[in-house]
């Protein structure tokens, strides 16, 4: 997993799972604490997230809310969008933009 960016926008690449969760949590929470306004997470290159990774995203969302910020997920891959819908987290998280799923169809933006 690799996270790049600053306190207003970050890109996550690779896998957000149990092995990378602690490092990701520390970086995301530092970004929340060090900035103002929306914190945008670009997930276009995120290959996979497990329940632990999704928990990191939800924890970051809650932390952002506590300090008056909003976490915004951008370019969520189709497979991960379907997981957000299945868990109904698309109703809680701010999700922007449309993406192509592996079958080539465009999925509507959530949120």
pLDDT score of 98: 52
Domain range for residue 48?
A: 2-107
What are the beta bridge partners of residue 6?
A: none
Q: Identify the H or E element spanning 44.
A: none
State the number of CA atoms in the 13 A half-sphere of 45 facing the CB: 9
pLDDT band at 108 (very low <50, low <70, confident <90, very high): very low
Question: Per residue in 82-101, pLDDT tens?
Answer: 889 999 999 999 999 754 44
Q: How many domains does the chain have?
A: 1
Cα–Cα distance for residue pair 59/78, rounded to 1 Å: 22
Task: Select the more confidently predicted residue: 109 or 90.
Answer: 90
Residue that the structure tokens 């497979």 belong to: 79
User: pTM of the predicted model, to two decimals?
Assistant: 0.84
CATH number at residue 80: 3.30.750.24
Question: Per residue in 22-65, pLDDT tens?
Answer: 999 999 999 999 999 999 999 999 999 999 999 999 999 999 99
């Amino acid at each position: 997993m690799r996270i790049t960016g600053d306190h207003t926008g970050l890109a996550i690449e690779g896998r957000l799972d149990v092995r990378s969760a602690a490092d990701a949590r520390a970086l995301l929470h530092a970004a929340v604490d060090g900035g103002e306004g929306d914190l945008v997470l670009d997930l276009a290159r995120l290959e996979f997230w497990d329940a632990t990774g999704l928990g990191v995203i939800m924890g970051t969302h809650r932390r952002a809310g506590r300090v008056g910020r909003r976490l915004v997920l951008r370019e969520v891959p189709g497979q991960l969008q379907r997981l957000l819908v299945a868990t109904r987290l698309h109703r809680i998280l701010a999700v922007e933009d449309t993406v192509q799923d592996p079958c080539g169809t465009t999925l509507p933006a959530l949120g």
